[in-house]
Amino acid sequence: MSESGVPVRVEIEDILVGGECPMGLEVGRAWTVADGHVPEGMCASAWNSIMPFVTALRFGGTFPWSGEKEIRLTCPDAANPVVFHARVIDE
């Protein structure tokens, strides 16, 4: 494995509560994360919430409740939570 880990794909799956993301993110938008930087166009608040989980995936981690190399996460906006799906795309 390289020093920077494996790439992880992060995709917006849904925006709950029938709302809109105030930062303009839309369902289907996706990023490939290959380093620890905020992906271009991603809301910094959302990134701060999902980054620890994406980092775990990048370095071979799984989650004890699923054993999988993927996870669904939400941003912290309680009025319009954006649901992200993060998964390892290359091993």
Reported as a single tens digit per residue, the pLDDT across 11-38 is: 888 888 777 888 898 889 999 998 878 8
- pLDDT band (50, 70, 90) for residue 2: very low
Q: What pLDDT is stored for residue 46 in this prediction? A: 92
| pLDDT tens track for 66-90 | 888 889 999 998 888 899 999 998 6
Closest to 37 measured CA to CA, from 60, 22, 54, 17: 54
pLDDT given for residue 91 in this prediction: 54
Res 29: pLDDT = 92
pLDDT of res. 1: 42
Domain boundaries, the chain: 8-88
Which residue(s) pair with 26 in the sheet? none
* CA-based torsion, 75, 80, 83, 84: positive or negative: negative
Nearest of 90, 66, 78 to residue 7 by alpha carbon: 90
10 burial level (CB within 10 Å; 0-12, 13-18, 19+): buried
Residue 40, pLDDT above cutoff 50? yes
